[in-house]
Structure 1
Amino acid sequence: MTLPSPRRLYTFVATAEAVTWTLLLIGMFLKYVTETTELGVRIGGMLHGIVFIAYVLVTVIVWIDGRWSTKRGVIALLSAVPPLVTLWTERWLDRGGHLASTWRLQAKGEAVTPFERVVSGGLRRPLAAAGALVVAVVALTGVALVAGPPAG
């Protein structure tokens, strides 16, 4: 299995997060403005929730691999909250040279911190890591469903 680069992976999830935000906004328009259906909120909300969780996990992995500053990482995470801001963040990170074309932690001996060792292990075992990420997204989505929709 060939891993996408940090740049390609982050760009993909940042774009997917913005697309699902758009679907949710269209669904909200149909539900609250035209009062025609709430199906768009149900479908768009579920898709957006799943992709939001994937975005957060991928952002943390790319953050650790790229040794981003805390400020940069927190900005990247928070950019998923307002609609479509992940697109701006992806461009900002890419222009600043913070989205690498290779995984630093894929090489043995690069990992220093416990978080880096976890990411490094996953990068060297991509199928197992992909499975773990899918399980994490499913589990966190389940927790979100039990918790219920955001207040409002």
Structure 2
Amino acid sequence: MTVVTPVATPVTPKRLYRGLAFAEAVTWTILITAMILKYAAGVEWAVLVGGSIHGFVFLAYGFSAVLVGVNQRWNLGRIAFAVLTAIVPYATVPFEAWLVKQGHLDGEWRLESGDHPDDDSWVNRMLRWFLARPILLTVVAVVGIATVFSALLVIGPPKVG
């Protein structure tokens, strides 16, 4: 049996979630500005660039909402709502503030099993396994997000009418 010593990280669940919630709001500004440039000034490439930046951060925020939500033992509804806040411009910021006020982002990463009945579930075992390997978790997250992002680029924007 291999024993993995967890690596200490300054990135707490709160810090990760707050950073990506803020980044999601910033990329909304980039996307809205790009749309104004496209439709008011004819700068066609602005939406491609702004939309790409926003899309990648949107997916990263969604991943972080699920990761942090599982770590913090949020119910499925709260996790889903956290992800859905990225769809509404700037909604991630007030939702993150509410989470902080309610204490839903307090605590560290759960690297070890505790007394909670769900700690033996496969989701929580997988969470602890990946959290004990933060470099691997980061690589898997970035590759996964990039793969989904690339697939969405190939599919293209929704067709209206």
Match 2:130 to one of 96, 101, 122: 122
- Measured in 2, the distance between the counterparts of 1:100 and 1:128 equals 24
Q: Are 1:13 and 2:20 matched, yes or no?
A: yes
SS at match of 2:41: coil
Q: Distance in 1 between matches of 2:10 and 2:159?
A: 38
Distance in 2 (alpha carbons) for counterparts of 1:138 and 1:116: 24
Which structure 2 residue ranges, 5 or more long, are not aligned? 1-6
Alignment RMSD, CA only? 1.4
The C-alpha deviation readout for 1:16-42, integer Å capped at 9, x for no partner, is 11111110000011112x133022211
What are the Cα deviations for residues 122-142 of structure 1, in whole angstroms up to 9, with x where unaligned?
Answer: 110101111111111111111
Amino acid across the alignment from 1:91: A
Count of residue pairs brought into register by the alignment: 149
**Residue 106 of structure 1: SS of its match in structure 2?**
coil
Task: Report the equivalent of 2:91.
Answer: 85
The match for 2:108 is 102
Query: Deviation string for 1:58-111 (max 9, x for gaps)?
Result: 1000110111122211211110001110011110111110002311x212x243
Cα deviation, residue 113, structure 1: 1.5
Q: 1:3 to 1:133 in 2, by over 3 A?
A: farther
Q: Name the counterpart of 1:138.
A: 146
Amino acid at match of 2:111: Q
Secondary structure in structure 2 of the residue aligned to 1:49: helix
The answer as to 2:37 corresponding to 1:37 is: no
Q: TM-score, length-normalised on structure 2?
A: 0.87
Query: Could you tell me how far 1:151 is from its partner in structure 2?
Result: 4.0
Higher helix share: 1
Determine the structure 1 residue equivalent to 2:29. Answer: 22
